[in-house]
Structure 1
Amino acid sequence: MNFFRTLFAGGLGWVLGGPIGAIIGMGASALFSSDTGDESYSRTEPRRQAGGDYLVSLLVLIAAVMKADNKVKRSELDYVKTFLRQTFGEAKAKESLILLKDILKQNIPINDVCHQINRHINREARMQMIHLLFGLALADGHISKEEESLIFKIALQFNLTNQEYISIKSMFIQDSNWAYKVLEIEQNATDQDVHKAFKKMAIKYHPDKVADQGEDIVKAANKKFQKLNEAYQTIKKERNL
Protein backbone atom coordinates (compact mmCIF):
# COMPACT_ATOMS: atom_id res chain seq x y z
CA MET A 1 0.00 0.00 0.00
CA ASN A 2 3.01 2.31 0.05
CA PHE A 3 2.21 3.65 -3.41
CA PHE A 4 -0.96 5.27 -2.03
CA ARG A 5 1.20 7.27 0.35
CA THR A 6 3.31 8.57 -2.53
CA LEU A 7 0.46 9.28 -4.88
CA PHE A 8 -1.78 11.13 -2.48
CA ALA A 9 0.73 12.73 -0.16
CA GLY A 10 -1.28 15.94 -0.60
CA GLY A 11 -4.16 14.37 1.30
CA LEU A 12 -7.54 12.82 0.63
CA GLY A 13 -10.85 13.75 2.13
CA TRP A 14 -14.35 13.18 0.82
CA VAL A 15 -13.45 10.54 -1.82
CA LEU A 16 -12.77 8.01 0.93
CA GLY A 17 -16.49 7.78 1.55
CA GLY A 18 -19.40 7.01 -0.78
CA PRO A 19 -19.14 5.17 -4.11
CA ILE A 20 -15.68 6.50 -5.00
CA GLY A 21 -14.27 5.24 -1.71
CA ALA A 22 -15.78 1.82 -2.39
CA ILE A 23 -14.24 1.74 -5.86
CA ILE A 24 -10.69 2.57 -4.79
CA GLY A 25 -10.94 -0.04 -2.06
CA MET A 26 -11.43 -0.40 1.65
CA GLY A 27 -7.73 -1.03 2.08
CA ALA A 28 -6.83 2.41 0.80
CA SER A 29 -9.54 4.02 2.91
CA ALA A 30 -8.30 2.28 6.04
CA LEU A 31 -4.74 3.33 5.29
CA PHE A 32 -5.59 7.00 5.02
CA SER A 33 -7.87 6.93 8.02
CA SER A 34 -4.99 5.66 10.15
CA ASP A 35 -2.39 7.92 8.54
CA THR A 36 -4.16 11.24 8.75
CA GLY A 37 -6.94 11.16 11.30
CA ASP A 38 -10.10 13.22 11.21
CA GLU A 39 -8.35 16.53 11.76
CA SER A 40 -6.45 16.27 8.47
CA TYR A 41 -9.74 16.86 6.69
CA SER A 42 -10.29 20.23 8.28
CA ARG A 43 -10.71 23.32 6.13
CA THR A 44 -7.25 24.64 6.88
CA GLU A 45 -5.63 23.05 3.83
CA PRO A 46 -8.29 22.87 1.10
CA ARG A 47 -5.95 23.02 -1.88
CA ARG A 48 -3.76 20.13 -0.75
CA GLN A 49 -6.77 17.93 -0.11
CA ALA A 50 -8.61 18.99 -3.25
CA GLY A 51 -5.78 17.89 -5.53
CA GLY A 52 -5.86 14.29 -4.30
CA ASP A 53 -9.67 14.13 -4.30
CA TYR A 54 -9.82 15.56 -7.82
CA LEU A 55 -7.25 13.13 -9.18
CA VAL A 56 -8.96 10.08 -7.69
CA SER A 57 -12.35 11.24 -9.02
CA LEU A 58 -10.85 11.84 -12.45
CA LEU A 59 -9.27 8.37 -12.51
CA VAL A 60 -12.67 6.81 -11.80
CA LEU A 61 -14.27 8.76 -14.66
CA ILE A 62 -11.37 7.92 -16.96
CA ALA A 63 -11.85 4.22 -16.21
CA ALA A 64 -15.58 4.51 -16.95
CA VAL A 65 -14.94 6.09 -20.37
CA MET A 66 -12.21 3.58 -21.21
CA LYS A 67 -14.66 0.75 -20.51
CA ALA A 68 -17.60 2.40 -22.32
CA ASP A 69 -17.11 0.49 -25.58
CA ASN A 70 -15.97 -2.67 -23.79
CA LYS A 71 -12.43 -2.21 -25.16
CA VAL A 72 -9.53 -0.83 -23.18
CA LYS A 73 -7.22 0.30 -25.99
CA ARG A 74 -3.46 0.71 -25.84
CA SER A 75 -3.85 4.19 -27.39
CA GLU A 76 -6.09 5.20 -24.48
CA LEU A 77 -3.63 3.91 -21.90
CA ASP A 78 -0.82 5.75 -23.67
CA TYR A 79 -2.89 8.95 -23.71
CA VAL A 80 -3.65 8.66 -20.00
CA LYS A 81 -0.01 7.94 -19.23
CA THR A 82 1.15 10.99 -21.19
CA PHE A 83 -1.53 13.21 -19.65
CA LEU A 84 -0.67 12.10 -16.12
CA ARG A 85 3.05 12.59 -16.67
CA GLN A 86 2.61 16.06 -18.16
CA THR A 87 0.13 17.13 -15.50
CA PHE A 88 1.26 15.46 -12.29
CA GLY A 89 4.84 14.38 -12.90
CA GLU A 90 6.51 11.00 -13.36
CA ALA A 91 6.06 9.67 -9.81
CA LYS A 92 2.37 10.45 -9.50
CA ALA A 93 1.73 9.22 -13.04
CA LYS A 94 3.29 5.83 -12.28
CA GLU A 95 1.27 5.37 -9.11
CA SER A 96 -1.92 6.69 -10.72
CA LEU A 97 -1.65 4.05 -13.43
CA ILE A 98 -1.39 1.33 -10.78
CA LEU A 99 -4.58 2.60 -9.18
CA LEU A 100 -6.29 3.01 -12.57
CA LYS A 101 -5.65 -0.63 -13.48
CA ASP A 102 -7.40 -1.65 -10.26
CA ILE A 103 -10.32 0.73 -10.88
CA LEU A 104 -10.78 -0.75 -14.37
CA LYS A 105 -11.66 -4.05 -12.70
CA GLN A 106 -14.46 -2.48 -10.67
CA ASN A 107 -18.10 -1.85 -11.44
CA ILE A 108 -18.55 1.93 -11.66
CA PRO A 109 -21.99 3.27 -10.66
CA ILE A 110 -21.61 6.42 -12.75
CA ASN A 111 -24.71 8.23 -11.47
CA ASP A 112 -23.65 7.80 -7.84
CA VAL A 113 -20.07 8.78 -8.64
CA CYS A 114 -21.21 11.96 -10.43
CA HIS A 115 -23.50 12.83 -7.54
CA GLN A 116 -20.60 12.56 -5.11
CA ILE A 117 -18.38 14.71 -7.34
CA ASN A 118 -21.13 17.32 -7.71
CA ARG A 119 -21.29 17.75 -3.96
CA HIS A 120 -17.60 18.52 -3.56
CA ILE A 121 -16.11 19.87 -6.81
CA ASN A 122 -17.06 23.23 -8.29
CA ARG A 123 -18.73 23.62 -11.67
CA GLU A 124 -15.68 24.96 -13.47
CA ALA A 125 -13.58 22.01 -12.31
CA ARG A 126 -16.30 19.61 -13.47
CA MET A 127 -16.22 21.23 -16.92
CA GLN A 128 -12.48 20.65 -16.93
CA MET A 129 -13.15 16.96 -16.29
CA ILE A 130 -15.41 16.78 -19.36
CA HIS A 131 -12.66 18.38 -21.44
CA LEU A 132 -10.15 15.79 -20.26
CA LEU A 133 -12.57 12.92 -20.94
CA PHE A 134 -13.06 14.05 -24.55
CA GLY A 135 -9.29 14.08 -25.02
CA LEU A 136 -9.15 10.53 -23.72
CA ALA A 137 -11.98 9.34 -25.96
CA LEU A 138 -10.24 10.81 -29.02
CA ALA A 139 -6.91 9.19 -28.17
CA ASP A 140 -7.36 6.54 -30.87
CA GLY A 141 -8.47 9.15 -33.43
CA HIS A 142 -12.15 8.29 -33.12
CA ILE A 143 -14.80 8.87 -30.46
CA SER A 144 -17.17 5.92 -30.36
CA LYS A 145 -20.91 6.34 -29.87
CA GLU A 146 -20.64 4.59 -26.52
CA GLU A 147 -17.89 6.95 -25.34
CA GLU A 148 -19.69 10.08 -26.48
CA SER A 149 -22.95 8.88 -24.96
CA LEU A 150 -21.27 8.29 -21.59
CA ILE A 151 -19.48 11.66 -21.62
CA PHE A 152 -22.79 13.36 -22.45
CA LYS A 153 -24.43 11.51 -19.57
CA ILE A 154 -21.67 12.65 -17.21
CA ALA A 155 -22.04 16.23 -18.45
CA LEU A 156 -25.77 16.10 -17.70
CA GLN A 157 -25.07 14.69 -14.25
CA PHE A 158 -22.61 17.56 -13.75
CA ASN A 159 -25.44 20.00 -14.57
CA LEU A 160 -23.71 21.42 -17.65
CA THR A 161 -25.99 23.06 -20.19
CA ASN A 162 -26.27 21.61 -23.68
CA GLN A 163 -24.48 24.69 -25.00
CA GLU A 164 -21.58 24.17 -22.59
CA TYR A 165 -21.35 20.51 -23.57
CA ILE A 166 -21.29 21.36 -27.29
CA SER A 167 -18.67 24.05 -26.65
CA ILE A 168 -16.29 21.55 -25.07
CA LYS A 169 -17.10 18.83 -27.59
CA SER A 170 -16.36 21.21 -30.48
CA MET A 171 -12.82 21.66 -29.20
CA PHE A 172 -12.26 18.03 -30.23
CA ILE A 173 -14.83 17.26 -32.94
CA GLN A 174 -14.48 20.13 -35.38
CA ASP A 175 -16.95 20.88 -38.15
CA SER A 176 -17.18 24.05 -40.25
CA ASN A 177 -18.78 25.95 -37.37
CA TRP A 178 -16.64 24.56 -34.55
CA ALA A 179 -15.10 27.89 -33.54
CA TYR A 180 -18.52 29.51 -33.12
CA LYS A 181 -19.76 26.57 -31.09
CA VAL A 182 -16.75 26.84 -28.80
CA LEU A 183 -17.63 30.48 -28.15
CA GLU A 184 -21.30 29.49 -27.71
CA ILE A 185 -22.54 31.86 -30.45
CA GLU A 186 -24.20 31.56 -33.86
CA GLN A 187 -22.27 31.94 -37.11
CA ASN A 188 -24.22 35.09 -37.97
CA ALA A 189 -23.12 36.86 -34.79
CA THR A 190 -21.79 40.38 -35.27
CA ASP A 191 -18.09 41.15 -34.88
CA GLN A 192 -18.90 42.90 -31.63
CA ASP A 193 -20.81 39.86 -30.38
CA VAL A 194 -17.83 37.65 -31.25
CA HIS A 195 -15.53 39.84 -29.17
CA LYS A 196 -17.97 39.93 -26.27
CA ALA A 197 -18.42 36.16 -26.43
CA PHE A 198 -14.67 35.59 -26.29
CA LYS A 199 -14.28 37.85 -23.27
CA LYS A 200 -17.15 36.07 -21.53
CA MET A 201 -15.73 32.62 -22.30
CA ALA A 202 -12.22 33.70 -21.32
CA ILE A 203 -13.54 34.53 -17.86
CA LYS A 204 -15.57 31.31 -17.72
CA TYR A 205 -12.71 29.03 -18.80
CA HIS A 206 -9.81 30.87 -17.16
CA PRO A 207 -7.45 28.44 -15.41
CA ASP A 208 -7.81 30.44 -12.20
CA LYS A 209 -11.35 29.04 -11.95
CA VAL A 210 -9.88 25.68 -10.95
CA ALA A 211 -7.08 27.06 -8.77
CA ASP A 212 -8.62 25.47 -5.67
CA GLN A 213 -7.91 22.05 -7.18
CA GLY A 214 -4.14 22.64 -7.18
CA GLU A 215 -1.43 23.70 -9.60
CA ASP A 216 -1.52 20.41 -11.50
CA ILE A 217 -5.14 20.91 -12.56
CA VAL A 218 -4.49 24.56 -13.44
CA LYS A 219 -1.78 23.34 -15.81
CA ALA A 220 -4.25 21.03 -17.54
CA ALA A 221 -6.86 23.80 -17.73
CA ASN A 222 -4.43 25.93 -19.72
CA LYS A 223 -4.91 23.60 -22.70
CA LYS A 224 -8.64 24.24 -22.72
CA PHE A 225 -8.00 27.97 -22.51
CA GLN A 226 -5.60 27.73 -25.46
CA LYS A 227 -8.29 25.97 -27.50
CA LEU A 228 -10.69 28.79 -26.71
CA ASN A 229 -8.16 31.31 -27.97
CA GLU A 230 -7.61 29.20 -31.10
CA ALA A 231 -11.35 29.35 -31.83
CA TYR A 232 -11.35 33.12 -31.42
CA GLN A 233 -8.33 33.56 -33.69
CA THR A 234 -9.96 31.28 -36.30
CA ILE A 235 -13.05 33.50 -36.43
CA LYS A 236 -10.95 36.66 -36.56
CA LYS A 237 -8.97 35.26 -39.48
CA GLU A 238 -12.14 34.27 -41.34
CA ARG A 239 -13.55 37.77 -40.88
CA ASN A 240 -10.27 39.63 -41.46
CA LEU A 241 -10.59 41.30 -38.06
Structure 2
Amino acid sequence: MVRWIGAIIGFAYRGFLGAVAGYVIGMLIDNLFFNKSDGQASGRSRSPFGGGQQTVTPGDFELNLLSLCSIVIKADGQVSQREMDYVRQYFVQAYGKERANATFRTFNDVVKKREINAQRICAYLVQRTRREVRLQIVHFLFGIAQADGNVSTAEVNQISSIAGYLGLSRNEFEGLKAMFFKNSDSAYKILEIEKTASDAEVKKAYRDMVKKYHPDKLQHMDEAYRAGAEEKFRNVQDAYETIQKERGL
Protein backbone atom coordinates (compact mmCIF):
# COMPACT_ATOMS: atom_id res chain seq x y z
CA MET A 1 0.00 0.00 0.00
CA VAL A 2 2.71 2.51 0.98
CA ARG A 3 4.51 2.05 -2.35
CA TRP A 4 1.43 3.23 -4.29
CA ILE A 5 0.86 6.18 -1.97
CA GLY A 6 4.50 7.11 -2.48
CA ALA A 7 4.10 6.84 -6.24
CA ILE A 8 1.03 9.11 -6.22
CA ILE A 9 2.70 11.73 -4.04
CA GLY A 10 5.89 11.55 -6.10
CA PHE A 11 3.95 11.99 -9.34
CA ALA A 12 2.14 15.02 -7.93
CA TYR A 13 5.39 16.75 -7.07
CA ARG A 14 7.90 15.52 -9.66
CA GLY A 15 5.96 13.81 -12.42
CA PHE A 16 7.00 10.40 -13.72
CA LEU A 17 10.47 10.34 -12.12
CA GLY A 18 8.95 11.38 -8.81
CA ALA A 19 6.44 8.54 -9.09
CA VAL A 20 9.25 6.02 -9.65
CA ALA A 21 11.24 7.33 -6.69
CA GLY A 22 8.13 7.40 -4.49
CA TYR A 23 7.26 3.83 -5.44
CA VAL A 24 10.79 2.58 -4.62
CA ILE A 25 10.82 4.31 -1.22
CA GLY A 26 7.33 3.04 -0.46
CA MET A 27 8.31 -0.49 -1.48
CA LEU A 28 11.26 -0.43 0.91
CA ILE A 29 9.06 0.77 3.76
CA ASP A 30 6.46 -1.89 2.90
CA ASN A 31 9.14 -4.57 3.02
CA LEU A 32 10.50 -3.31 6.33
CA PHE A 33 7.25 -3.00 8.23
CA PHE A 34 4.10 -4.34 6.63
CA ASN A 35 5.15 -7.95 6.03
CA LYS A 36 5.64 -8.58 9.74
CA SER A 37 2.14 -9.79 10.56
CA ASP A 38 2.00 -11.94 7.44
CA GLY A 39 5.28 -13.65 8.32
CA GLN A 40 4.29 -14.33 11.90
CA ALA A 41 0.85 -15.61 10.95
CA SER A 42 2.18 -18.11 8.42
CA GLY A 43 5.17 -19.20 10.47
CA ARG A 44 7.70 -18.11 7.84
CA SER A 45 11.17 -16.98 8.88
CA ARG A 46 11.45 -13.36 9.91
CA SER A 47 13.53 -10.76 8.12
CA PRO A 48 16.32 -9.08 10.11
CA PHE A 49 14.19 -5.92 10.25
CA GLY A 50 10.93 -7.55 11.34
CA GLY A 51 9.31 -8.62 8.04
CA GLY A 52 8.86 -12.22 6.99
CA GLN A 53 9.28 -13.31 3.36
CA GLN A 54 10.01 -16.44 1.36
CA THR A 55 12.42 -14.68 -0.96
CA VAL A 56 14.55 -11.58 -0.66
CA THR A 57 13.25 -8.64 -2.72
CA PRO A 58 15.62 -6.14 -4.37
CA GLY A 59 14.79 -3.55 -1.71
CA ASP A 60 15.43 -6.00 1.12
CA PHE A 61 18.72 -7.15 -0.38
CA GLU A 62 20.03 -3.62 -0.79
CA LEU A 63 19.15 -2.62 2.77
CA ASN A 64 20.65 -5.81 4.19
CA LEU A 65 23.83 -5.30 2.19
CA LEU A 66 24.06 -1.66 3.24
CA SER A 67 23.64 -2.72 6.86
CA LEU A 68 26.57 -5.13 6.57
CA CYS A 69 28.60 -2.34 4.95
CA SER A 70 27.91 -0.07 7.91
CA ILE A 71 29.13 -2.75 10.33
CA VAL A 72 32.46 -3.03 8.51
CA ILE A 73 32.87 0.73 8.16
CA LYS A 74 32.36 1.21 11.91
CA ALA A 75 34.39 -1.86 12.96
CA ASP A 76 37.56 0.08 13.83
CA GLY A 77 35.70 2.85 15.64
CA GLN A 78 36.27 5.35 12.83
CA VAL A 79 33.99 6.26 9.95
CA SER A 80 36.16 6.73 6.87
CA GLN A 81 34.80 9.03 4.17
CA ARG A 82 36.72 7.08 1.55
CA GLU A 83 35.05 3.85 2.64
CA MET A 84 31.63 5.54 2.56
CA ASP A 85 32.35 6.91 -0.92
CA TYR A 86 33.38 3.40 -2.05
CA VAL A 87 30.05 2.00 -0.89
CA ARG A 88 28.04 4.78 -2.51
CA GLN A 89 29.90 4.37 -5.81
CA TYR A 90 29.29 0.63 -5.73
CA PHE A 91 25.57 1.06 -5.09
CA VAL A 92 25.24 3.67 -7.84
CA GLN A 93 27.05 1.37 -10.28
CA ALA A 94 24.87 -1.58 -9.29
CA TYR A 95 21.46 0.06 -9.01
CA GLY A 96 21.63 3.50 -10.62
CA LYS A 97 21.77 6.85 -8.85
CA GLU A 98 18.07 7.28 -8.04
CA ARG A 99 17.56 3.79 -6.65
CA ALA A 100 20.83 3.96 -4.69
CA ASN A 101 19.86 7.33 -3.20
CA ALA A 102 16.44 5.96 -2.21
CA THR A 103 18.12 3.03 -0.45
CA PHE A 104 20.50 5.33 1.43
CA ARG A 105 17.64 7.60 2.50
CA THR A 106 15.58 4.70 3.78
CA PHE A 107 18.60 3.27 5.58
CA ASN A 108 19.32 6.60 7.28
CA ASP A 109 15.68 7.29 8.13
CA VAL A 110 14.63 3.85 9.30
CA VAL A 111 17.22 1.08 9.57
CA LYS A 112 20.15 3.07 10.95
CA LYS A 113 18.09 4.00 14.02
CA ARG A 114 17.68 0.34 14.96
CA GLU A 115 20.16 -2.21 16.23
CA ILE A 116 21.86 -3.91 13.28
CA ASN A 117 22.51 -7.57 13.98
CA ALA A 118 24.99 -9.13 11.53
CA GLN A 119 24.16 -12.72 12.46
CA ARG A 120 20.44 -12.21 11.96
CA ILE A 121 20.92 -10.40 8.66
CA CYS A 122 23.19 -13.15 7.37
CA ALA A 123 20.80 -15.91 8.47
CA TYR A 124 18.11 -14.13 6.46
CA LEU A 125 20.35 -13.89 3.38
CA VAL A 126 21.59 -17.49 3.61
CA GLN A 127 18.04 -18.73 3.11
CA ARG A 128 17.39 -16.45 0.14
CA THR A 129 20.60 -16.06 -1.88
CA ARG A 130 22.89 -18.33 -3.85
CA ARG A 131 26.34 -19.13 -2.52
CA GLU A 132 28.08 -17.21 -5.31
CA VAL A 133 26.18 -14.07 -4.28
CA ARG A 134 27.33 -14.50 -0.67
CA LEU A 135 30.92 -14.96 -1.86
CA GLN A 136 30.60 -11.68 -3.73
CA ILE A 137 29.23 -9.94 -0.63
CA VAL A 138 32.36 -10.87 1.35
CA HIS A 139 34.58 -9.82 -1.57
CA PHE A 140 32.79 -6.45 -1.59
CA LEU A 141 33.24 -6.04 2.17
CA PHE A 142 37.00 -6.54 1.80
CA GLY A 143 36.96 -3.86 -0.89
CA ILE A 144 35.33 -1.47 1.59
CA ALA A 145 37.92 -2.20 4.28
CA GLN A 146 40.74 -1.57 1.81
CA ALA A 147 39.24 1.63 0.38
CA ASP A 148 40.99 3.94 2.86
CA GLY A 149 44.32 2.17 2.44
CA ASN A 150 44.39 0.87 6.00
CA VAL A 151 42.71 -2.44 6.77
CA SER A 152 42.46 -2.89 10.53
CA THR A 153 42.42 -6.15 12.45
CA ALA A 154 38.95 -5.21 13.70
CA GLU A 155 37.67 -4.94 10.13
CA VAL A 156 39.15 -8.31 9.14
CA ASN A 157 37.67 -9.93 12.24
CA GLN A 158 34.25 -8.44 11.50
CA ILE A 159 34.35 -9.66 7.90
CA SER A 160 35.45 -13.08 9.12
CA SER A 161 32.42 -13.26 11.42
CA ILE A 162 30.09 -12.16 8.60
CA ALA A 163 31.60 -14.77 6.25
CA GLY A 164 30.95 -17.44 8.87
CA TYR A 165 27.37 -16.26 9.37
CA LEU A 166 26.89 -16.42 5.58
CA GLY A 167 27.88 -20.08 5.63
CA LEU A 168 31.28 -19.71 3.95
CA SER A 169 34.11 -22.03 4.91
CA ARG A 170 37.38 -20.88 6.45
CA ASN A 171 39.19 -21.71 3.20
CA GLU A 172 36.72 -19.59 1.22
CA PHE A 173 37.22 -16.68 3.60
CA GLU A 174 41.02 -16.99 3.44
CA GLY A 175 40.86 -17.27 -0.34
CA LEU A 176 38.88 -14.04 -0.67
CA LYS A 177 41.13 -12.32 1.86
CA ALA A 178 44.22 -13.36 -0.13
CA MET A 179 42.88 -11.48 -3.14
CA PHE A 180 43.43 -8.27 -1.16
CA PHE A 181 46.46 -9.16 1.01
CA LYS A 182 49.31 -10.51 -1.07
CA ASN A 183 52.11 -12.64 0.36
CA SER A 184 54.10 -15.73 -0.61
CA ASP A 185 51.14 -18.01 0.09
CA SER A 186 48.41 -15.85 -1.51
CA ALA A 187 48.22 -17.78 -4.78
CA TYR A 188 47.66 -21.05 -2.93
CA LYS A 189 45.09 -19.55 -0.59
CA ILE A 190 43.16 -18.13 -3.53
CA LEU A 191 42.97 -21.66 -4.97
CA GLU A 192 42.04 -22.88 -1.47
CA ILE A 193 44.93 -25.36 -1.21
CA GLU A 194 48.10 -25.74 0.83
CA LYS A 195 51.51 -24.81 -0.51
CA THR A 196 52.48 -28.48 -0.19
CA ALA A 197 49.81 -29.53 -2.71
CA SER A 198 50.99 -31.70 -5.60
CA ASP A 199 50.99 -30.44 -9.18
CA ALA A 200 47.94 -32.59 -9.89
CA GLU A 201 46.14 -31.10 -6.88
CA VAL A 202 47.02 -27.58 -8.06
CA LYS A 203 45.54 -28.24 -11.50
CA LYS A 204 42.40 -29.77 -10.01
CA ALA A 205 42.02 -26.84 -7.59
CA TYR A 206 42.32 -24.40 -10.49
CA ARG A 207 39.60 -26.21 -12.47
CA ASP A 208 37.35 -26.24 -9.39
CA MET A 209 37.88 -22.53 -8.74
CA VAL A 210 37.20 -21.65 -12.38
CA LYS A 211 33.81 -23.34 -12.03
CA LYS A 212 33.18 -21.73 -8.65
CA TYR A 213 34.04 -18.15 -9.61
CA HIS A 214 33.07 -18.09 -13.27
CA PRO A 215 31.43 -14.71 -14.03
CA ASP A 216 28.47 -16.41 -15.71
CA LYS A 217 27.25 -17.44 -12.25
CA LEU A 218 26.42 -13.79 -11.51
CA GLN A 219 24.97 -12.81 -14.89
CA HIS A 220 21.56 -12.46 -13.21
CA MET A 221 22.94 -9.76 -10.89
CA ASP A 222 23.55 -6.05 -11.50
CA GLU A 223 26.64 -4.60 -13.16
CA ALA A 224 28.68 -4.10 -10.00
CA TYR A 225 28.26 -7.75 -9.01
CA ARG A 226 29.26 -8.93 -12.47
CA ALA A 227 32.35 -6.71 -12.30
CA GLY A 228 33.19 -8.20 -8.91
CA ALA A 229 32.82 -11.72 -10.32
CA GLU A 230 35.18 -10.88 -13.17
CA GLU A 231 37.71 -9.46 -10.70
CA LYS A 232 37.62 -12.64 -8.58
CA PHE A 233 37.98 -14.75 -11.74
CA ARG A 234 41.07 -12.77 -12.79
CA ASN A 235 42.55 -13.31 -9.33
CA VAL A 236 42.08 -17.07 -9.73
CA GLN A 237 43.76 -17.01 -13.14
CA ASP A 238 46.64 -14.85 -11.84
CA ALA A 239 47.11 -17.17 -8.87
CA TYR A 240 47.35 -20.21 -11.12
CA GLU A 241 49.81 -18.47 -13.45
CA THR A 242 51.95 -17.52 -10.44
CA ILE A 243 52.09 -21.13 -9.28
CA GLN A 244 52.79 -22.34 -12.82
CA LYS A 245 55.81 -20.04 -13.09
CA GLU A 246 56.97 -20.95 -9.60
CA ARG A 247 56.81 -24.68 -10.34
CA GLY A 248 57.65 -24.60 -14.01
CA LEU A 249 54.38 -26.27 -14.96
Q: TM-score, normalised by structure 1?
A: 0.76
What letter corresponds to residue 100 of structure 2 in structure 1?
A: A
Q: Does 1:90 align with 2:90?
A: no
Change (3 A) 1:21 1:187: same
**Alignment identity in percent?**
34
Name the residue aligned to 1:177.
185
2: CA distance between counterparts of 1:238 and 1:4? 57
* RMSD value, Cα: 3.1
Change (3 A) 1:238 1:143: same
Q: Which of these residues, 146, 152, 155, is aligned with residue 144 of structure 1?
A: 152
1: CA distance between counterparts of 2:218 and 2:32? 18
Contact preservation (8 Å) 1:51, 1:213: no
What letter corresponds to residue 109 of structure 1 in structure 2?
A: N
Q: TM-score, normalised by structure 2?
A: 0.74
Name the residue aligned to 1:5.
23
Report how far residue 195 of structure 1 moved: 2.2
> Alignment partner of 2:127: what SS?
helix
2: CA distance between counterparts of 1:209 and 1:13? 27
**Runs of 5+ in structure 2 lacking a partner?**
1-5, 11-20, 37-45
Deviations 1:10-56 (A, max 9, x none): 9x97996544435xxxxxx8xxxxxxxxxxx99xxx8xx75444323
Computing the radius of gyration over CA atoms, which structure comes out larger, 1 or 2? 2
**Runs of 5+ in structure 1 lacking a partner?**
23-28, 30-40
Name the residue aligned to 1:25.
none
Contact preservation (8 Å) 1:202, 1:225: yes
Contact preservation (8 Å) 1:207, 1:221: yes
Deviations 1:102-159 (A, max 9, x none): 4444320122111111111122211111111111111111222221111111111112
Change (3 A) 1:139 1:215: closer
Name the residue aligned to 1:164.
172
| Greater RCO (CA < 8 Å, at least 6 residues apart) | 1
Number of residue pairs the alignment of both structures matches: 218
Contact preservation (8 Å) 1:51, 1:214: no
